[in-house]
A and B are shown apart, each in its own frame.
Chain A
Amino acid sequence: MKRIVYREWRVPPARYWSLLGILASVIGVAALAFAYMEHEGHWVTGMSNSVVWGVPHVFAVFLIISASGALNVASIGTVFRKPLYKPLGRLSGLLAAALLVGGLLVLVLDLGRPERLVVAMTTYNFRSIFAWNIFLYTGFMAIVIAYLWSMADRKGDPYNRAIGIVATFWRLALTTGTGAIFGFLVARQAYDAAILAPMFVVMSFAYGLAIYMLVLMFSFKEDDRPIGNRILFRLRNLLGIFVLSVFYFTLVYHLTKLYGAKNYDLVGWLLLDGGIYTFLFWVGWVLIGGLIPLGIIYHPIHGRDRNWIAAACGLVIVGGLSSLYVIIIGSQAYPIQMFPGQTILESGFFDGVQGAASSYSPRIPEVLLGFGGVAVALLVTAVGVRVLQFLPESLADEVMPPDEEASGRAAVGAQA
């Protein structure tokens, strides 16, 4: 084992500036989309009084929970004392902060009155989990910055573990809080389930790690830095566990719903009869986001191939966006059950006539805004790794610290 050396990202300037140019263009287009929506009002989006949160919220929630999940890698190194993960900590912190910035921007720019952000920062209703989340998000940012300092500066080293522990609990609170935004809504049948809070935590593990792995593999490949199989396969295996956990929570969520007769219609609609939501559940959430990545991860040959592992990460991300589309938008599209035992024959406000779900089709500006958030997260990351020493020179097996607890298993894994 050698000393881990961190260096700025040294990809050729032409390539680096091209990357920044592409990201800046996406951000520019998103800014125009925002200006258009803000100028005209939300009628130019697909959102309505029935489906009040649309694609921007899918992206925002995805980025926010991924931010929390991306920090996991640092936590494993610091809090759970896995030396193997220590060199990965700085990028983990940077990515967490960057993803959070991207997610929050999308969330804020989709407000009906984004210029009143100062009101949201100064006027609080502490009964609202939303208000708590404002503190959870800003606190997360501050803690991650302190965490990065403790990792990068010798003077910060003595505080590293303490800050890491705080960060771990904070990130758990953050994702629980984000899940609770939906889980505590008694009005809508599909949301009204406390299991959504831990489910969001597990989802954050999977999506955050998938994004982390892709960024790590991309940045290392571009700069010809080696990543050893030991660490890569460890991350891959971890991703497998997280994806399986998402499956488990998905199953329990549906079983919880199915336990009550009042929810039979909801579950039947979602799993069989919900059109785009049924499709996205089975194809996006289950197949693309779950079964195929698991098939790759646990495949004896493909599971060792970096391209396949990267593909698995990409699929987990696509599956994650599908899952959140189903959770956030599908749950709103399903009509609110105000009159159990009655069929609505007519309504002046789309109350689910004959059980019909509300329609929603995203419009281009809102999708562009979502992509803008992703681009902001990647831009912050790209600038961060370029100007500061976030990336280790090498993650090759011989450079990496031994992982005492699992050294035997890791060695076997590397040989296999």
Chain B
Amino acid sequence: MTDHHESNTGPAECGPSQPDRRTFMATAAGVTAALVAPGVIMHSVAGPRTEAVTSDVRWGLLVDTAKCADGCSACIEACDRENGLDLQTQPSGAQPTRWENQKSVWIRKVKLQDNQTGRVTNLPLMCQHCEHPPCVDVCPTGASFKRADGIVLVDRHTCIGCRYCMMACPYKARSFVHEVMSNQLTRVPRGKGCVESCTLCVHRRDYGEESTACVDACQAAGHEAIIFGDLKDPESPIRMRLAELASRQIREDLALNTGVRYAGF
């Protein structure tokens, strides 16, 4: 009330300085609006990010190895672009062969041959987003964690870089950032001395986008060997395809219930 009263009586008392003050107030309001508005707008646009992830969904992938083409690396290139891994540069002085084993790889192609039958299979291999991830079990600080929607991630703020999760991962899916970071994408923050792996393009999940970079690239390349979707939704394309195809998990003997399934081998 006092403020209101003062503001009413103020102009009469202000005299000649009134226009200056009015201008100042207007400018200040404008500047404030200019500074605050983008944040408010972003906040409203990024609404879904503020909602807690629920276990109503479980994100996963189905790889149909019969469709995975020999020599194709579209998924790898797309993953690298999506997550800024293509920005990795070999530190000066690093030995090229060793660096190949030190740079981060989130998805790679593997070509197998059956010892008995000679049948050759190609497949992409990445974090399998296990229901019972060994990396999460062994992480001393809890930096390795599984989201309610099944995505296994590393909290880069609490990762101490002990690499025990890399020792524990049965899929060799994790990479350690061996070098000082000079180039990275805002949507995928990375940092020297932390462990990282496939996030199932979690930034897309959080913006409510469909699919992952590797799936899109595979589709664009005309192979459609990878399907992304909700493993819990019986109507989802991935579930319907899983119902048709015989599929398996890699290292099924460990009973980790992986979120990535493979068909055709």
Residues of A within 8 A of B (CB): 40-44, 46-50, 52-53, 111-114, 116-117, 119-120, 123-125, 127-131, 134, 181, 185-188, 191, 332, 336, 338-339, 341-351, 358-359
- A46 CB to closest chain B CB (Å) equals 7
Chain A: CB-nearest residue to B120: A345
With contact pairs A52-B166, A134-B140 given, residues A347 and B108 touching in the complex (Cβ less than 8 Å): yes
Q: Which residues of A contact B169 (CB under 8 A)?
A: 187
Stretch at the interface among B16-24, B37-45, B157-165, B215-223: B157-165
CA distance A360 to B93 in the complex (A): 18
Q: Which residues of B contact A120 (CB under 8 A)?
A: 140-141, 160, 162
Instruction: Write 5 A-B pairs (CB below 8 A) sorted by A numbering.
Output: A119-B158, A185-B138, A339-B112, A343-B112, A348-B110
Decide if A112 touches B195 in the complex (CB within 8 Å).
Answer: yes
Interface residues of B in 96-136 (CB under 8 A from A): 98-102, 104-105, 108-116, 120-121, 125, 134, 136
With contact pairs A128-B140, A186-B134, A345-B112 given, residues A336 and B164 touching in the complex (Cβ less than 8 Å): no
Decide if A187 touches B167 in the complex (CB within 8 Å).
Answer: yes
Chain A: CB-nearest residue to B171: A338
B156-187, CB under 8 A of A: which get 1 and which 0?
00111111101111111011111110000000
Decide if A187 touches B142 in the complex (CB within 8 Å).
Answer: no
Decide if B112 touches A112 in the complex (CB within 8 Å).
Answer: no
Decide if B159 touches A49 in the complex (CB within 8 Å).
Answer: no
* Interchain residue pairs A-B with the least CB separation, the first 8: A112-B161, A112-B193, A348-B108, A130-B140, A187-B170, A48-B101, A125-B142, A346-B111
Decide if A127 touches B137 in the complex (CB within 8 Å).
Answer: yes
Q: Which residues of B contact A338 (CB under 8 A)?
A: 125, 170-172, 250-251
Could you tell me how many residues of chain B have their Cβ less than 8 Å away from some Cβ of chain A? Answer: 60
Decide if B163 touches A41 in the complex (CB within 8 Å).
Answer: no
CA distance A346 to B175 in the complex (A): 19
Decide if B177 touches A186 in the complex (CB within 8 Å).
Answer: no
Q: Which residues of A contact B195 (CB under 8 A)?
A: 112
- A93 CB to closest chain B CB (Å) equals 27
Chain A: CB-nearest residue to B71: A346
Chain B: CB-nearest residue to A125: B142
Instruction: Tell me which of B142, B168, B194 contacts A112 (CB under 8 A).
Output: B194
- B154 CB to closest chain A CB (Å) equals 11
- A193 CB to closest chain B CB (Å) equals 14
Does chain A have a CB within 8 A of B68? Answer: no
Decide if A113 touches B251 in the complex (CB within 8 Å).
Answer: no
- Output the residue of B76, B101, B160, B251 with the most chain A CB within 10 A: B160
Decide if A112 touches B160 in the complex (CB within 8 Å).
Answer: yes
